[in-house]
Structure 1
Amino acid sequence: MGFGKSKSTEKYTFDFTDPYFTADGISANYSLLYAKYDFEEEDLSNWAADERQALVTFGYPLSEYQTVYFGGGYRGLDINLGYNVAPEIKRFIDDRGDSFHEGVATLSWTRDTLDDPFMPTKGTYNSLGGEVTIPGSSETYYRLNYRNNSYFSFGEDSMVLGLRGNVAYGDGYGDSSDLPFFRHYYAGGISTVRGYKYGTIGPRYSNGDNAGGDFRINGGADLIFPRGFGDPNSAYRMGLFVDAGSAYSSVSDFDADDLRYSAGVFLQWMSPVGPLNLSWARPLNKKDGDKTESFQFTLGRGF
């Protein structure tokens, strides 16, 4: 079980994996989630949501390095609008209601040859996945995501070059013309473009609130110093990075001139309470309306 709380999110989770669900190596993961989100606290837009989720995912190993995952479940979402919510969101809620129920099917593939899950020095991680809400859901849509992380070592206890990229896209089908606003992709923040506040890069509503979009692209490069500056048993390492990315209302709106860039320094530490990532970044091409945040961190996952 898990619990997490930040300025904008309160989250309760239960996650259990049975690696020997069947004798031929199929695993089963059971996941429950209850979360409260307040996007006004993130300074994005004036709405909040309560979400409930129950998913079961099965993993089938294709080889030593490749696995296919498939599963599904249920998601429920209740939207609460603030007084100054964007007109586009208010029209959506007036038309569709403020309570949404989704049957979800998922499918993904991964290939992982990294030599270390948290501080890799060589190998690649590739992931291609998607989800679709089944007919009969309040909103019918699909979302696709591709991710690559590649690491190249210059020799034992030497510098490491890391390259990464991520492309995410979604759209509606049936009665839904595009992604509902509560499933948009956002750019900005430690997991996409460091140095910018979460979600503040990309499209905006007519009142100036951050809208996210149906399409996002981001990536970057890291130059990583040896672990502990030469101590292979050290629990930390540092590096320099360059990030790039943005979100767009749709694929057809993609314009390379809208990409934001940043550069800085990061620290990875395998702390007693889990993996800790800290970064200090400087935006390189801030534009009007962008919101910046030099220092950012995460606990429990990588960049």
Structure 2
Amino acid sequence: MQYNLREIKDNKGNPRKVRSLKTFTSVPRLFLILPLFNIINGSENRDEPIIVPKHQNTRNIEIKNAQLTIENDFDVFLFILRKVFRSNSTSIEFSTSEMMDELNIEKVSRAQYLKTFIKSVKRLSNIHVEYEEKVNGEWQHTFFNFIEGRLTKSKGTIEVSKFFIEFFGNLKELYEINPEILGVLNKYQRILYVLYVCNRMSTTNYFSVDRLKERFNINSDKMPDKQFIKKIRDTNKDLQDLGLIIGFKEIKALDKEGKNDNPRQPTVQFDVDYTYKTLYPKISKLRELSALIKGFKDTKNVDIEEEKEEPKQIKTDDGDEEWI
């Protein structure tokens, strides 16, 4: 069934503005702050549903999914949203070549990527959402799966649930996601970047380690806190090198003197500086920086390997110099 989308409306019947350009997609904040699209390794059991007791004008939101990744699955999710909003219909059709072009898949990789795309669509079809919303004085219970469809080697047909569009229309906060920026980032960088995009209260924004662990859905048995904090630190450094954030500071647990800057204490919070301008740079400049950084790291790795190959000189204590 086709569901006309010429105007996405909220629960009061007011039209919503959404972006569906190739370079930007409007996404509800709820889908960005929750661990819906994530890194699978090191995560908690993803069979457990994501539950939100209350959000804006809805309550008892429950989202069940099938281990969705922040890379391939999120890219396909954004692709489907763009197609839906550009076509003004929940029923979309596309050729495989069109899909590959939009996702910037290299021709030598297309045969293999088609298998990846099909797997992602199957996983997205397992997104199941339930929520309650007060309508005309009584609570209405809504439930749906995100998509259903049919795929072949040459084309695809996907039907997005009209209830998803209604749910989308009722969510107040929409944020712009540029897939071209995501294409430059790795898994950890993507999650932090998306989290920063939808948390812009001021130039400096605050993220506790506990909050970050919730977003990454980290299982502390699989990834100790010390290792996780290092990954967040390294990822923030990468985002700073790319110019997507201005800088960051680690806040330590209070020591006996009540200070939070003791380097021996564990990190409990990251204070991160960024603006709208840094989060949405010119894509050409971002790609140039990414290539320069990658080239520098590759050169550094080669230098390290060459250094390792040099024979070690054995030092002995001759009585005159300190023996190292």
Give yes or no for TM over 0.5.
no
TM-score (norm 1): 0.25
| Structure with greater contact order relative to length (CA < 8 Å, sep ≥ 6) | 2
The structure that has the greater radius of gyration is 2
- Which protein is richer in strand relative to its size? 1
